[in-house]
Structure 1
Amino acid sequence: MKKLILASLTLFMVTAANAQTGYKVGDVASDFNLKNVDGKQISLASYQNAKGYIVVFTCNTCPVSKAYEARVENLNKLYATKGYPVVALNTNDPVASPGDTYAKMQERAKEKKFSFAYLEDPDHVYTKKYGAMRTPHVFVLQKTAKGNEVVYIGAIDNDQQEANPERENYVQNAVNQLLKGEKPSVSNTKAIGCTIKWKKEMSR
C-alpha cells in the first residue's frame, strides 16, 4: 500500500514538474543533437532551409502513439517540403519500457517506413525541457529573429479514433496559418495519450 501511495505521489510530482518547467507558447525552444534511427546525429539546425518544425514527442509502445503514426507521417509529407519537417523524439526510458529501445525504434521506423527523423532521448533531457507529458505531444516551432519560437502546443487533432464528424486538425491548421504569415488561432490544446515512462531512479 505504501509503495502504491509513493508511486502515485511520484507520478503527481513528475506531472507537476513538467507543467511548471515546460515551454509555453511564445518561449524560444532550445535545439538538440540526438541520434536518429539511421545512426546519424540530428539537430533542428540540420534542417537549414526550414521555416519551423513539427516536434512530436512519441514512442513505440503507446496505443495512442500507434494510432497517430500514419497522421504524423502525413504531416511530414504535407509540410516538410514547405519548410515544416516533422522531428519525432522517443520519450520513454528503454529500461522502464523495453519496447522502446533504440533497436526497437529502428525496427518500428523501418516497418512503418517513417520519412521523418525519429530520435532517442534516453535521459529525458529534451522531454523534460520542452515539458512533454503525454505520447504523442506536439510542439510546433517557428523560426524567428529571436530563435525557434513555440507557437502551438498540444494534440495533433481531436479525433483519436478517426470517427469525429467535427474533427479539428490542430497541427495542420496551425502550420497552414503560419504558411500564410499568421499566428495559429488555436495555440494550446490538451495532449491526449499515454504517460511517459521515466527512469525509475530519476527524482526530477
Structure 2
Amino acid sequence: MAIKIGDKAPSFTLIDTNEKSIALKDYSAKSILVVIFSCNHCPFAQAWEDRIVAIQDSFKSQDVQILVISSNDANQYPADSFAEMKKRALEKNFNFPYLYDETQEVAHSYGAEKTPEVFVFDQSRTLKYHGAIDDNYDDENAVKTHYLKNALNDLLQNSSPTTPTSEPEGCTIKWFN
C-alpha cells in the first residue's frame, strides 16, 4: 500500500548510475523533491523519459529536484540491470540521478507499484502529490492534464496541489519471485 498524502518520505540511500551514493537527506535543502519509480524496459516509462528530463530542466531553477529509482528484478528483466541503467542514463542524457533499488526495499517502503509512479514532497518532505506524470503516455501533444507540472506549480505558489492524486499508468514493478 502506497504512502498517503501527508505522510513523510521514507528515507533511503541508493547508488546512482555514476556509482555515487545518494541519500534522500542529501536533498534536504531543495524546496520540492520528486521521487519517480521507473525502469528501462517498460514502454510507458520510456514514453515519459523525455518529459521527465524536460520537467527537471523547467523546474531546476525553482529549487525542484527529481530522483528516478529503478526497482525491477534484473534477473527477470535484464534490460533493467544496473549496467543497462548506466547506458540508458547516458543515451537519454538524464539530468537527474537515476538510482538502483537492487533490494526493492525503497519501492516497498513507498508502496510503489507502477513504472512510472510519482511521489512529490514539499520542503518538510511531506507527500503532497502521488500518481501519474500526465494523462497521456502515448502522445505528449494530446496531454490534457499535466499532473506533475500542475502539482509543482501549485506547491511553488505555496498552495496544496489542486489534484493531489491521480492513477499511475504503466507497467507493474517486477518483484522478486
Instruction: Looking at secondary structure, tell me which structure has more helix per residue.
Output: 1
In the alignment, which of 113, 117, 141 is matched to residue 97 of structure 2?
117
1:48, CA displacement in angstroms? Answer: 4.5
In the alignment, which of 122, 139, 148 is matched to residue 171 of structure 1?
148
**Do 2:27 and 2:33's aligned partners in 1 also have CA atoms closer than 8 Å?**
no
CA distance in 2 between counterparts of 1:91 and 1:166 reads 27
Task: Count residues in correspondence.
Answer: 177
Aligned partner of residue 60 in structure 1, secondary structure: coil
**Do 2:71 and 2:101's aligned partners in 1 also have CA atoms closer than 8 Å?**
yes
CA distance in 2 between counterparts of 1:88 and 1:119 reads 6
Q: Does structure 1 residue 189 correspond to structure 2 residue 166?
A: yes
Residue deviations 1:155-184, cap 9 Å, x none? 000011226746100000000010011000
Displaced runs of 4+ in structure 1, greater than 3 A?
Answer: 163-166
What letter is aligned with 2:173? I
Shift of the 45–81 alpha-carbon distance from structure 1 to 2, 3 Å rule, reads farther
1:43, CA displacement in angstroms? Answer: 1.4
In the alignment, which of 105, 113, 126 is matched to residue 133 of structure 1?
113
Uncovered stretches (5+) of structure 2, i.e. residues with no partner: none
In the alignment, which of 143, 150, 158 is matched to residue 123 of structure 2?
143
In the alignment, which of 125, 131, 134 is matched to residue 154 of structure 1?
131
1:1-204 equivalence runs, <5 A:
19=1, 22-144=2-124, 148-162=125-139, 165=142, 167-200=144-177
CA distance in 2 between counterparts of 1:80 and 1:97 reads 32
1:121, CA displacement in angstroms? Answer: 0.3
CA distance in 2 between counterparts of 1:46 and 1:36 reads 13
CA distance in 2 between counterparts of 1:195 and 1:176 reads 28
**Do 2:29 and 2:123's aligned partners in 1 also have CA atoms closer than 8 Å?**
no
Provide the TM-score with structure 1 as the length reference: 0.83
Aligned partner of residue 150 in structure 2, secondary structure: helix
Shift of the 165–103 alpha-carbon distance from structure 1 to 2, 3 Å rule, reads closer
What letter is aligned with 2:18? D
Provide the TM-score with structure 2 as the length reference: 0.96
What letter is aligned with 1:179? L
Uncovered stretches (5+) of structure 1, i.e. residues with no partner: 1-18
CA distance in 1 between counterparts of 2:80 and 2:144 reads 30
1:135, CA displacement in angstroms? Answer: 0.4
CA distance in 2 between counterparts of 1:69 and 1:163 reads 11
